[in-house]
Amino acid sequence: MQKLSVLLILLFSPCLWAKVCDAPKTLNGLTLIFTVNEKYGHYSPDPIGVLQTSFTKQNFTTNIIQNNYHFIGKYTYQHLGSGLAKLTARQLLGPKVIRYSMTLVCISPRLGYYIYSQIEGPRLPNVRQNTGQYMIRDSVKL
């Protein structure tokens, strides 16, 4: 009976269920590397590959690693709880605007997955989704 009690205490101990990671509280000052999972297709016309995005308080700059193409934009960021956050962005592509959101789900303090949901874009299909992984390159601000 004593062994069963100890086993039950250990099994339901809060220490065992403590969070493993948390999404960053802010993106300000961070650089994230994004990789895209999708291959070319109707709903993924631009399977870019690897992007490096640096964030300030309200702005971001993205560099597409493969071709060194840069673009800028503005964003808002919400920390939704343990391991979950949402980035909403408005990006300028020349005179055209791309609006999208990214849901970030962490798997460790520096790594995670994202779901990219484009709301508006310059080419059809202008509403589409991609998934991929992210890595926080700079020091983590949790």
Is 3.30.70.60 the CATH number for 19-136? no
| SS3 category, 142 | coil
- The rounded distance, in Å, linking the Cα atoms of 105 and 101 is 13
Confidence at residue 64, expressed as pLDDT on a 0 to 100 scale = 85
Instruction: Write down how long the chain is.
Output: 142
Domain range list for the chain: 19-136
| Residue 97 token pair | 């605007």
Question: What is the pTM (predicted TM-score) of this model?
Answer: 0.76
Q: pLDDT (tens digit, 9 = 90+) per residue, 16-53?
A: 444 578 888 999 999 999 998 766 455 554 556 788 99
Q: Could you count the other beta carbons within 10 Å of the beta carbon of residue 128?
A: 20
Q: pLDDT (tens digit, 9 = 90+) per residue, 58-106?
A: 999 999 888 888 889 999 999 998 899 999 999 987 788 889 999 999 9
